[in-house]
């Protein structure tokens, strides 16, 4: 591709792009093309991608099963942009989602297209929960991540990102996520107590918003029994339960929705990242039908109807969710990663791991070592990132479709990086 | 395309999609494909599009000059999704934007990719303005529209949309937009007075956010001298000036940025809608370099790097902004619409018009007539929408690339609809 | 009185009292005793008091008609402190207030004792208005002063005092007070317009809170027709009207309530300062009976039942409000002050005056001159203070009971101080 | 006293006073006079007062040692009302407070007179803490009570009182008070964890506000070691520690300040209720000298200088705090109450007790029984009130000066009431 008179170099970005840029500081290559789990930069160097667009590329880069329908759709001048008008592509997506995802799981949700990003989906969920209940307050959890717009940021834990708001973040109260006290304190001890106590000073919440596995927060996994107890608590107190499945949905944990294992049915669910299948912006807010009290246009947005994403999203559902092959693969691959992590832990002190399905974290007692491992991995051609409040966790989010060989290559590189850093 | 066993009908949407859906209620067709200014529904019926994705399709549907590079890029497995990593496509976009837009206009901005929608761009702008100044309060204008996430909604005027927030919207104070009092009250009388008066009770603002033409608010056009006075007022009081050019940018008013005519230089500018060129989600926040005090990752988002939109966005810049042909066409076409509106106004009482470039509003003294005209136009195959606080304005936002013949067809249909409704 | 081994000197205060102290900086004497309009300091120097405790001493210092009942009550061990229990003294106060104040004026209010200060009364009024209407937002006016606790401070204009809050002050929007634009702009032009416009971005208010004369704000007098138009506007839009009569009530403007002249009937009225008669802390919130939806104890406070103040308050009502002698005196004395001010204005440039009844302001075009005049007056034994956003107004609030001779003494001193400063 | 033509009856209050009245509903007598621990109503019936104005009458009603100086001061026309001017009475109070309270305890505080009620003192404390630290958030504790104005209400636990605000209460987060989990959870487990965790979502607090014994909250006693740990935690994290000693100060727990036993030195202390000695409105905010960054007049209020209360307050300090007689008596009397409560607990099931010094609570497993006991006690001529989130605690706050005989009378009445209700 000869788009510019000059090749693209990193100077273009350091000269013209805002200081807010972030991942490019860890991975300063200029990427050009990608296929499956592999990226190639402008110098022809190849990188194995264990980050997958922070979970937006669960089916890998430029997956052929999605690319075909996309190219065909664009070639035939299918509608690209449609606000919230009815389109063939949107109808196909809705039908596929109903038939392949909701119906088989016995789930009954109305689908809102709240704008094409996760934070749009979260903002819509919070607005609706407040509208339905007439209450302002939301319960979030320690180390939660829900997005960067003002409503979502209020329920996000990270202090650096919160400080960016420039206004005090209110109407949200954090509660301890599962295992926050290392098992010492009983689940919901604090939360239940302050809900029950009319003198506690807690504003009665409209909703609880929870991730079943906190990706940005450090791969913190909520146990199924904790999630069930939370759902039960919400039900008893007439508090809505919102599961933010933006990162953990679309199969990341081994089932389409991450909450399936726990057997709970949230009142509202948010989806984004991999729901468009091809890295295309798309997001959904799923709403228990009796809660769908929106007025027409009460929440809107220009890019609610990103039809190319409907096409690739529907194709992904057909390709990967017509049976349970992918789901079983995810579990198996996750186990394989866990095994590798266990071995690393046996070799080195100060190293533990956690995760579920194909979201896995390698936890370093010495927090800075995690960044060191990521840097060493990048030098060896592997993209992995840190997470957690002290960036103490190396987080793995490989494409769910990764083959065993590529997985082993990546895990070997990672093990070497760990050896190098912890030596 | 045989995606579903059944053809897509509107029942799919009424059964499965949230009650929040809006445009589809006015235009209940199921759209299938599109080219230029024409949409085709599943029954083969054709519609002339004078709404252009609320300004997201300034270059028309599936413009061949953009489609070619897009298909080529996707075919060669160019990077689709890249967070905020460096990519060839992003580099090309940044360079094109610098060379074709900023440099020729003598503008010096750092570019932030804040997430792919207008409201992301606005939220980033507000956060940065607050961070830079250490103040919380923002001045917005009557009948402003800036987006649906909590920060943007706080500076939006529409009471129905504000009520959707479910929390009191604070840290924003509305001021009268240009001509709010029909010329009776001097510009900035109130705003200047409360700024000057240390006892006024107005929290000192971090920034003013303004649209040069309020599209959703009813095609309210700020005069160049009003904008200059506003910019001067902000400068003197050390208040940042944010121009939200999400709808009015990308040539809609006859220049790339809508504020060029006034000769002002905002501190922060937001762009979205047509910046991706092809209806693809993309948004920019442009920042005066010395205000670019973001920490790395202090604002982030999964879909900041929507590379297909970089490709089509850059192609659009090359195709349409290498010279001033389009800009001149926009002015000429705008005049043509104004002439047609003048004629309608001469035929009917209670009808006036306003606008700039190719955003034009036909204002009905009898507000419900506006919706009647839109309905009649739709029956005749023309898509136009109302705007304004009482939906009293028929708003025209045709693709900037519309030809004279199509324009005349549409204006004729519109004139007939007006005749029919006001008869 | 030999209370201390050492005489009291100003060092005690500068050593031990917080830097927040204020009036004592202008008037650094140590005051010992007082009678009527005269204060005496520890050195035996006498001062004529034209400030009267910022309006808390409308009946002068230690008025004998109040002192007698007070001493008798204390001597006989009448209940001093009673929370909100029934007491004889409270019953007497309530009956006197009903018979001497409410009944003759045809006013029907329930009386709340919200705590013994003006800001308690305002906080209770705002809470009740919000509870009744279910809305959060309050309209206040430019240069309003309503108190220092967080709710009252939100509706107060002064930027220095607002900054002391340490949190953003929200849920309040300022509107222009009468004559804010010097008569150029029509009354309520802006307020009515944003109320009517569903796209204005103004949160629909629960209530308007207004002073009929803004004392702290610079002796700004609202015209009767402006107050009537405001009351009518509130009535039409179902917005509650709160008159804060803390400083202007109890006869200051020539009628017991300052709003009587305008013939309006507010929904809620706050009283404090001189309602206790003897400078004793007491405050009332008067409530239209159908708005009295408080639950028992929903607002409380330890010193709601300050019985000595009930005794002196009731005695003051009996002494001064059984007929219209005082009211007529206030008008006459006010006119006398106005005449003196007119003369000063004729002698000096840059001097104007305004006021109503016995609240009068001498306005200096050269703001610092006002403080100079106060300092010179103090040196000559007269206590007067500045007010207004730039402290540009010398504010006169003499005891309503001042005699003609003392008044003339004070006015002569003041005229000399003006001559001295403006010479 | 023949003030009214008719005797005062309860109808006066039910006809004219707001529905917010509260204590009078439990104790519907009309009280007339009082002496020491005894009240007398208009019918000559006598009542033993074990509530003491919710702690405002620690020295009993109309204490002769205070009454004498008060009558003398009023008789000689001492200054009554002085805003924040220097007066002899205020100087005497400040000197007495310094010499008798601060100096002997080695405490160094600047004294602010923030207005004459506890909530004024708390509002000033919160404002100053926010100003000093530049942070908005305050940590309060479950079942805290700090006052009814908007700032104080935000840090108060009671949900009924919070609902009265009519706006969402923000900028405050509750933490578990000592023993909130019955000893199961370690102290500060949750608080420390969320402070340490940069991803917890807790806004970094400006200050912690705490009562050492929560009176309104149900006589919850913080252990000295808990208070020390809290003080140490605040010190380490640079969070200001505010002790609200409005109800528990002035000797209630056996030392002048309730925090003396724990050996901690708060950064800010609030005092009110009994600081004026005679049930007269007075309040102090004590400020660590280096935190006294108030600007002159940045917080003000009309009744900051309630000189009669300075006189009685200073007299009380001289009479009761020149040696440790009262303090020792309080401990002894408290023990006597505790012994009586122990006996009641041995006689009846479902009855426990807690408290410190002369604030004591009798806790009923069956919450409604507590109100029953108070009603039975009132019928027998004893004033006691309930507290706690479910009104499950009979709270005793007798005057500290009560004699043994009166105490025994009251405890016997109480025991009979308990027998009657729990029979």
Cα gap B318→B268, rounded to integer Å:
24
Give the pLDDT mean for A399-409.
98
**C168–B198 C-beta distance less than 8 A:** no
Which tokens go with C307?
């019985």
User: What is the per-residue pLDDT for A423?
Assistant: 86
Question: Coil, helix or strand for A112?
Answer: strand
Strand order in the sheet with C30-35: C382-383, C46-49, C38-41, C30-35, D86-87
CB-defined contacts A:D, below 8 A? 121
Residues C57-74: tens digit of each pLDDT: 999 999 999 999 999 999
C-alpha to C-alpha distances, B127 to A397, C282, D66, nearest whole angstrom: 30, 45, 58
**C21–D84 C-beta distance less than 8 A:** yes
Residues of chain C with pLDDT under 50: 1-3
Question: Coil, helix or strand for A110?
Answer: strand
Instruction: List chains touching B (3+ CB pairs under 8 A).
Output: A, C, D
Asked if C80 and D62 count as a contact pair (C-beta separation under 8 A), the reply is yes
The candidate with the shortest Cα–Cα distance to D17, out of B324, B160, B189, C102, is: C102
Mean pLDDT of chain A: 96
For C166, nearest residue in chain A (alpha carbons): A168
Residues C101-158: tens digit of each pLDDT: 999 999 999 999 999 999 999 999 999 999 999 999 999 999 999 999 999 999 999 9
Give the pLDDT mean for D289-299.
97
The answer to whether residue D390 neighbours chain A at the CB level (below 8 Å) is: yes
Residues C77-89: tens digit of each pLDDT: 999 999 999 999 9
**Residues near A281 by beta carbon (within 8 Å), at least 6 away in sequence:** A116, A117, A303, A306, A309, B116, B281, B303, B306
**Choice between A423 and A211, residue whose per-residue pLDDT is larger:** A211
**C203–B174 C-beta distance less than 8 A:** no
Asked if D264 and D301 count as a contact pair (C-beta separation under 8 A), the reply is no
Instruction: List chains touching A (3+ CB pairs under 8 A).
Output: B, C, D
D348-354: long-range contacts, CB 8 A cutoff, minimum separation 24: D348/D418, D348/D419, D348/D422, D349/D422, D350/D422, D351/D418, D351/D422, D354/D219, D354/D220, D354/D221
A-chain CB neighbours of C166 within 8 Å are none
Give the pLDDT mean for D341-351.
97
CA distance B343 to chain A (A): 32
Residues 188-247 of A with CB under 8 A from D: 189-190, 193-194, 197-204, 217-218
User: Pseudo-torsion of CA A153, A159, A161, A167, nearest 10°?
Assistant: 60
Residues 85-144 of D with CB under 8 A from C: 85-88, 90-92, 94-95, 97-98, 110-113, 115-120, 123-124, 126-131, 136
DSSP structure class, residue B170: -
CA distance C152 to chain B (A): 12
User: What is the per-residue pLDDT for B187?
Assistant: 80
Residues D364-403: tens digit of each pLDDT: 999 999 999 999 999 999 999 999 999 999 999 999 999 9
pLDDT at A5 over 90: no
CB-defined contacts B:D, below 8 A? 3
Cα gap B83→D229, rounded to integer Å:
45
Which of D20, D70, D165 is facing C297, going by the closest CB pair? D20
Q: What are phi and psi of D105, to 5 degrees?
A: -95, 5
User: What is the per-residue pLDDT for C287?
Assistant: 98
pLDDT at D4 over 70: no
A-chain CB neighbours of B293 within 8 Å are 19
Q: How confident is the model at residue D5 (pLDDT cuts 50, 70, 90)?
A: low
DSSP structure class, residue B222: P
Cα gap B331→B252, rounded to integer Å:
9
Give the pLDDT mean for A221-245.
97
Look up the pTM and report it: 0.97
Asked if D308 and C66 count as a contact pair (C-beta separation under 8 A), the reply is no
Question: Coil, helix or strand for C258?
Answer: coil
Question: Coil, helix or strand for C105?
Answer: helix
Cα gap C187→C178, rounded to integer Å:
7
Residues A128-165: tens digit of each pLDDT: 999 999 999 999 999 999 999 999 999 999 999 999 99
The answer to whether residue C299 neighbours chain D at the CB level (below 8 Å) is: yes
**A24–B126 C-beta distance less than 8 A:** no
Give the pLDDT mean for A373-383.
98
**C76–D33 C-beta distance less than 8 A:** yes
Residues of chain B with pLDDT under 70: 1-5
Q: What's chain B's Rg over C-alpha atoms?
A: 21
Which of B140, B194, B200 is facing C201, going by the closest CB pair? B140
**Residues near D205 by beta carbon (within 8 Å), at least 6 away in sequence:** D135, D137, D138, D139, D173, D239
**D88–C8 C-beta distance less than 8 A:** yes
For A155, nearest residue in chain D (alpha carbons): D201
**D302–C91 C-beta distance less than 8 A:** no
User: What is the per-residue pLDDT for B73?
Assistant: 98
Cα gap C166→D172, rounded to integer Å:
13
Which of C4, C13, C127 is facing D165, going by the closest CB pair? C127
Looking up tokens 């059944």 gives B6
The answer to whether residue A17 neighbours chain B at the CB level (below 8 Å) is: yes
Cα gap D148→D165, rounded to integer Å:
8
Cα gap C57→D73, rounded to integer Å:
18
The candidate with the shortest Cα–Cα distance to B239, out of B198, B268, B211, B260, is: B268
**B160–C198 C-beta distance less than 8 A:** yes
Which of C159, C198, C203 is facing B199, going by the closest CB pair? C159
**B168–D167 C-beta distance less than 8 A:** yes
C-alpha to C-alpha distances, C207 to C134, C153, C177, C235, nearest whole angstrom: 11, 16, 15, 10
Give the pLDDT mean for A255-276.
98
B-chain CB neighbours of A294 within 8 Å are 18-20, 164
**C144–B200 C-beta distance less than 8 A:** no
Cβ-based neighbour number of residue D184 at 10 Å: 10
CA distance D167 to chain B (A): 8
Residues 349-378 of D with CB under 8 A from C: none
User: What is the per-residue pLDDT for B2?
Assistant: 44
| Angle (CA) D400 D404 D409, round 5° | 105
User: What is the per-residue pLDDT for D172?
Assistant: 96
| Residue count (chain B) | 423
C-alpha to C-alpha distances, A403 to A39, A330, B58, nearest whole angstrom: 15, 11, 43
What ipTM goes with this model?
A: 0.97
Cα gap D141→D143, rounded to integer Å:
6
Which tokens go with D273?
């209720």
D-chain CB neighbours of A183 within 8 Å are none
Which of A17, A25, A86 is facing B24, going by the closest CB pair? A86
**Residue from C14, C86, C150 to probe the interface with D (highest D Cβ count within 10 Å):** C86
**Choice between D5 and A300, residue whose per-residue pLDDT is larger:** A300
Q: What's chain D's Rg over C-alpha atoms?
A: 21
Instruction: List chains touching C (3+ CB pairs under 8 A).
Output: A, B, D
Residues 143-182 of D with CB under 8 A from B: 167-168
Instruction: List chains touching D (3+ CB pairs under 8 A).
Output: A, B, C
Residues C329-347: tens digit of each pLDDT: 999 999 999 999 999 999 9
| Residue count (chain C) | 423
């Amino acid at each position: 591709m000869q788009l510019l008179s000059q090749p693209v170099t990193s100077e273009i970005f350091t000269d013209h792009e805002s200081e807010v840029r972030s991942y490019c500081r860890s991975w300063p290559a200029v990427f050009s093309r990608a296929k499956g789990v592999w990226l190639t930069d402008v110098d022809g160097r190849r990188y194995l991608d264990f980050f997958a667009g922070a979970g937006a590329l669960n089916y890998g880069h430029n997956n052929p099963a999605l690319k075909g329908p996309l190219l065909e759709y664009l070639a035939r001048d299918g509608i690209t942009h449609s606000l919230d008008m009815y389109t063939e592509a949107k109808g196909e997506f809705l039908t596929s989602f109903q038939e392949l995802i909701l119906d088989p799981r016995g789930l009954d949700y109305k689908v809102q297209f709240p704008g094409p990003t996760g934070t749009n989906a979260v903002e819509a969920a919070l607005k609706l929960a407040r509208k339905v209940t007439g209450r302002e307050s939301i319960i979030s959890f320690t180390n939660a991540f829900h997005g960067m717009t003002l409503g979502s940021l209020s329920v996000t834990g990270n202090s650096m990102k919160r400080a960016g708001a420039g206004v005090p973040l209110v109407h949200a109260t954090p509660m301890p996520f599962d295992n926050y006290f290392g098992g010492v304190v009983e689940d919901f001890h604090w939360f239940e107590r302050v809900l029950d106590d009319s003198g506690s000073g807690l504003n009665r919440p409209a909703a609880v918003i929870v991730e079943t596995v906190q990706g940005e927060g450090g791969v913190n996994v909520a146990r199924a029994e904790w999630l069930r107890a939370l759902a039960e608590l919400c039900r008893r107190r007439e508090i809505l339960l919102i599961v933010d499945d933006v990162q953990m949905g679309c199969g990341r944990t081994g089932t389409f929705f991450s909450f399936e294992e726990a057997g709970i049915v949230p009142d509202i669910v948010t989806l984004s990242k991999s729901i468009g299948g091809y890295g295309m912006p798309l997001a959904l807010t799923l709403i228990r039908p009796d809660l769908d009290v929106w007025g027409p246009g009460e929440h809107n947005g220009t890019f609610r109807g990103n039809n190319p994403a409907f096409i690739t999203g529907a194709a992904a559902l057909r390709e990967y969710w017509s049976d349970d092959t992918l789901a079983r693969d995810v579990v198996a691959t996750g186990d394989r990663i866990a095994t590798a992590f266990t071995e690393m832990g046996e070799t080195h002190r100060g190293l533990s791991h956690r995760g579920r399905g194909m979201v896995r974290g390698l936890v370093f007692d010495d927090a800075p070592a995690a960044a060191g491992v990521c840097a060493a991995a990048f030098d060896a051609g592997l993209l992995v990132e840190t997470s957690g409040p002290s960036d103490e966790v190396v987080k793995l989010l490989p494409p769910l479709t990764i083959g065993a060989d590529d997985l082993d290559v990546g895990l070997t590189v990672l093990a070497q990086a760990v050896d190098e850093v912890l030596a």
